[in-house]
Each structure stands twice: as C-alpha cells, then as structure tokens.
Amino acid sequence: MDPTSSESSIKYSIKEYFLTFVENSTTGVGIPVSFDAFENPQPDDVKKWLLVLVNVLGIKKSSLSKIILTIYFNTREDAEGFESSVLRDTIFSLLSGSHDTILTPDSMIPLYDINTQERSGAITLILDETSQGEDFPAADETRCKIMTIPLKMASK
C-alpha cells in the first residue's frame, strides 16, 4: 500500500514531525508533546505541554484527504492564562510559517512508511482555516486552550 494511502503512516509521520520540531530541544522549541488523550497528565514540574490528536477523516485515493489536528495547549501556575497564550502563539507561529519549521501552507513533511519506519518521500499538507476555543481551567490548576486545525493532503 502506498504510504499516502496508509492512515497509520500519515499519523506516524505527523507525530514524528511534532516530536522533531516541538518537543526536541535541539531541533525544536523543547515543549513536551503527548499524542494519547488518555495518558496521565505531565509530572508537576512540567509547566507547559501539548496534547496533539490526529484524526484522519477517510483517505480518498487520487484526491485530497482531510486530516484534523486538535491541539490542547496546557499550562500550570497560570491563573491569568498568559503563559497559555504565549504557548499558543509560539506553536501557531510554527504552524503558520512564521518560522521555517512546521506546517506552512503547501509545505512538505517527511512521509514515513509505518512498516519499515523509513522515509519514503514527502507529503504536501495544505493548511486550512483554524478555529480556537476558549481557554478553561481544570481542577488541578492546569489551564487548557484548544485549537482545531483542518489539513488537506493528496493521496495516491
């Protein structure tokens, strides 16, 4: 199966991209990233982190497939939500192309074949309009801001 038609390859590739350009402190901005909505919260000493959910909404061969990224910007000790806003701005500038790193309109990211975990080309992601929900505090003094980012991707 062509990796552009493989949901698992697409999810793996996006995950690797976020780990490289967001979580890695050498190649990225050094912010912890989680991809599991059911994972325990970060340890108390972690003051900011992202939860990224990747939802592939059906792959259409020889057409544009839709992918939804939902990003949860989480902060601690942030009663006014200022750090949450700084985190959102940092990541959004990466996503919108203010830095030459993550998902710019019509950008290419490495595509990995999930079976071999080897790079098998690149995929073009077309950044669509984003929507942002209100930020809200959680019971453990964690503040959360949510952004939904629809993407379109060509599949073979």
User: pLDDT, tens digit, for every residue of 75-131?
Assistant: 988 888 899 889 988 887 776 654 444 445 455 677 888 888 888 777 666 666 667
Distance in angstroms (rounded) separating the CA atoms of residues 139 and 118 = 42
Average pLDDT estimate for 31-45: 79
Closest alpha carbon to 48 in 90, 95, 96? 90
Distance in angstroms (rounded) separating the CA atoms of residues 129 and 27 = 27
pLDDT score of 6 more than 60 = yes
Q: Please, which residues bridge with residue 154 across strands? A: 64
The domains of the chain, with CATH numbers, are: 3-154 (3.30.2000.20)
| pLDDT given at position 75 | 92
Distance in angstroms (rounded) separating the CA atoms of residues 87 and 70 = 15
| pLDDT given at position 99 | 46
| pLDDT given at position 5 | 79
Chain centre to alpha carbon of residue 12:
11
Total residues belonging to the chain: 156
Task: Report the chain's mean pLDDT, rounded to a whole number.
Answer: 78
Chain centre to alpha carbon of residue 75:
17
pLDDT-wise least confident of 42-56, 70-84, 128-142 = 128-142
